[in-house]
Amino acid sequence: MKYARFIYLCLLAIAASFFALPNAAQKDYLSSLESDKIRDAEGTNERIKLFLTFADDRLKKFQYELQHPSSNKHPEMLNALMNAYVGCVDDAADLVQLGIQKQENIRPGIDLMAGRTKEFLQVLEKLSADGIEIEIYKDNLEDAIEGTRDAMNDAEKAKKAVAPPPVRRKN
């Protein structure tokens, strides 16, 4: 009798964890469609590209929201978009580090990361210099600038750590 109850509780715990896995895998700043795209991506380079695309999307939405404010939850939306941007950039940077550890060929992802973070940093610094309603999102903006700089520096270091592509010689 005791064993049957123990086995029942174990099965119940396993079932609960099984159903909780899909929700745990989804980041709170990604839609379910975006999470599916990340999960279905072919390799690390493609995942890095997707995260940077999502980061760009959040940054553009942030700029749009500044130019066209709505009366409905404006400060919450601005901060949520900035946090989502930072999350996407951080995840892309984490994938770069993971790709290096696994010794994958992620040179295209690293190059994309280095280029895109420079672009993102220019936009963020412009917002910091002359942003509208900056007091609402200043802390998150500072975090975004710091996270983007870190990601850019990590990408530059990764360029040096990853072997250059082979050079083909003509016969």
pTM assigned to the model = 0.78
Whole-angstrom Cα distance, residue 107 to residue 99? 10
Residue 151: the pLDDT is 95
Residue 153 CA to residue 144 CA, distance in Å, equals: 14
Mean per-residue pLDDT over the chain, rounded: 84
> Is a pLDDT exceeding 90 seen at residue 27?
no
Number of C-beta neighbours around residue 17 at 10 A = 10
Q: Where are the domains of the chain?
A: 29-161
State mean pLDDT over 61-86.
87
**Residue 33 neighbours by CB under 8 Å, 6+ apart:** none
Q: Is the pLDDT of residue 107 over 60?
A: yes
pLDDT tens digits for range 44-59: 999 999 999 999 999 9
Tell me the pLDDT band of 29, cut-offs 50, 70 and 90: confident
Alpha helix ranges (H) inside the chain:
2-25, 32-40, 44-67, 74-101, 107-130, 134-161
Q: What percent of the chain has pLDDT over 90?
A: 57
* Residues contacting 5, CB < 8 A, separation 6+: none
With a cut of 70, say whether residue 34 has pLDDT above it: yes
Average pLDDT over residues 115-119: 96
